[in-house]
Amino acid sequence: MDRLNLVDGQWRAAEATGENISPANPADVVCAYARGDAGLVDEAVAAAARAFPAWAEATPQFRADILDRVGSAILARAAEIGRILAREEGKTLAEATGEATRAGQLFKFYAGEALRLAGDAIASIRDKVDVEVTREPLGVVGLITPWNFPIAIPAWKAAPALAFGNTVVMKPADLTPASAHVLAEVLAEAGCPPGVFNLVMGSGRVIGQALVDHPDVAAISFTGSEGVGQGIAEGCARHRKKLQMEMGGKNPMVVMADADLDVAVAACINGAFFSTGQRCTASSRLIVEAGIHDAFVDRMAVAMGQLTLGDPLEADTQIGPVVSEAQLRGNLGYVDLAHEEGAEVIGGERLDRAGFFQAPALFVGATNEMRVSREEIFGPCASVIKADGFDHALTLANDTEFGLSSGICTTSLRQAREFKRRSAAGMVMVNLPTAGVDYHVPFGGRKASSVGSREQGRYAAEFYTSVKTAYTFAG
């Protein structure tokens, strides 16, 4: 069945149709889908603007009930959604089903948050005056999402946006429209009023840009690459839109000599290679204290050799394909670059089979100055960088333009504490992979990784609401 756009409660075809293929097997067409245009964005924004006053004024209970039904429906369909997601994105069925479950949990969480949105009552400095601080929705928000978490990221943006009374126009990644489409279906079936949630699929340069430029879109929440984010930031500044952006990472995982090697190797294999390294929180710089370096590399090489690469729909697969031919070509270019820059490369070759498969790659003997250690690759590739002690490791970890997540493997409480305090990242992990987070706490980073306030947890209200300060004189 073709997937259509959702505008004002209507399923809308478009002149252009896209073909959503599986990266594990390009002959497997997941779906055909309608690729909208700027005119459809205009219609979607107009519908969202019309729907806004009633949605904003609806009782929190009304919104909570709808979000709760959405959460239940996603959870009930998690296995089916996981299959669609694994087929279109390429992550393993276990990861994909887990992601679908996460999307359901996010809607349940924000159903509760709709009821918990709170303000302040503060004593005035003036006699017989009361001061109240309340939070109000922004209006129409534009949500622009990447391909690597094609239902969790749409969920963690749409759920708080809707919970707090905004209406939404969503533009999902062109490589993975089917998962976001399921979300639109579920929202419509759960009784979300027409125009409250709109989905317009198609190219970022057309649909995304039209959202950024539209005068009736109050705010943009974007997750994606730094380059695209830069253009969106400039557009939002031009139109004075509220903006939140989550972008790339070059996340360090520090392995100290006192680490439990089993814990460290498991955390690094997971952080660097699971989801084919296509996580913004992936560990792409493994910073290893000299004393444990060679043993660590040996253990990593053995563990990498034991990973099962293959069809994401097979139960024993641990690593699926890279998302696209273009992304794979980019990754292989970085493997060549690692050789040229003087690293010893373990793995990294393209597999001789249909689909976009690449063996995990370790760049041993890398330095933090090499381009392979500075640029986000967004594939199953990690540099191993030797450090002389804790201070050096910490300096290397923080020496990056990014600041999303970081990690340390150590058995020393003192080192763990020091690292948590001094790491220049938004999320810090101790004896855990740099990727893999809870859904009810803030998510986001610093420096080039993030702009604006945090996503997820209670903190999402900072972005999706505007504060109003009211003064009343009752003399």
CA 23 to chain centre: 19
Q: Which of 23, 165, 195, 224 binds ligand NAP (CB under 6 A)?
A: 224
Report d(CA 260, CA 193) in Å as an integer: 53
The least distance separating Mg ion from the CB of residue 469, rounded to whole angstroms, comes to: 47
The partner in contact with residue 46, picked from ligand NAP, Mg ion, none with C-beta cut-offs of 5 to 8 angstroms by kind, is none
Q: Is 280 a catalytic residue?
A: yes
> Is residue 376 near ligand NAP by the rule CB under 6 A?
yes
The answer to whether 246 contacts ligand NAP (rule: CB under 6 A) is: yes
Cβ atoms 280, 148 nearer than 8 A? yes
Binding at 20: pick from Mg ion, ligand NAP, none (beta carbon under 5-8 Å per type): Mg ion
Question: In terms of CB distance, is 223 or 244 closer to Mg ion?
Answer: 223
Residue 88 touches which of ligand NAP, Mg ion, none (Cβ within 5-8 Å per kind): Mg ion
- Using the rule CB under 6 A, give the single segment among 141-149, 257-265, 351-359, 362-370 that binds ligand NAP: 141-149
DSSP character string of 98-115? HHHHHHHHHHHHHHHHHH
Which of the residues 95, 246, 376, 455 is marked catalytic? Answer: 246
250: tokens are 């070059």
Given a contact cutoff of 8 angstroms between Cβ atoms, the answer to whether 79 and 93 are in contact is no
Catalytic residue among 280, 341, 381, 455: 280
Indicate the angle between helix axes 177-189 and 60-76, nearest 10 degrees. Answer: 130
The residue range among 22-30, 53-61, 82-90, 228-236 that interacts with ligand NAP, by the rule CB under 6 A, is: 228-236
Contacting residues for 406 by C-beta, under 8 A, at least 6 apart: 251, 252, 253, 254, 397, 419, 423, 424, 425, 427, 428, 429, 434
One of 280, 286, 387, 396 touching ligand NAP (CB under 6 A): 280
Query: CA-CA distance, 165 to 149, in Å (whole number)?
Result: 24
- For residue 319, what is the DSSP state? B
Binding site for Mg ion (CB under 5 A): 20, 88, 175
Contact 226, 75 (CB under 8 A): no
- The alpha helices in 306-403, defined as continuous H runs, are 325-340, 371-374, 389-398
Query: Out of 104, 139, 208, 355, which residue is the one contacting ligand NAP (CB under 6 A)?
Result: 208
406 contacts ligand NAP (rule: CB under 6 A): no
Stretch that binds ligand NAP, among 19-27, 140-148, 345-353, 467-475 (CB under 6 A): 140-148
Q: Is 57 a catalytic residue?
A: no
- CB 289 within 8 Å of CB 393: yes
Q: Does 415 bind ligand NAP (CB under 6 A)?
A: no
Residue ranges in contact with ligand NAP by CB under 6 A: 144-149, 171, 173-175, 203-205, 208-209, 212, 223-225, 228, 231-232, 246-249, 280, 376, 378, 404, 449
Q: Which residues are catalytic?
A: 246, 280
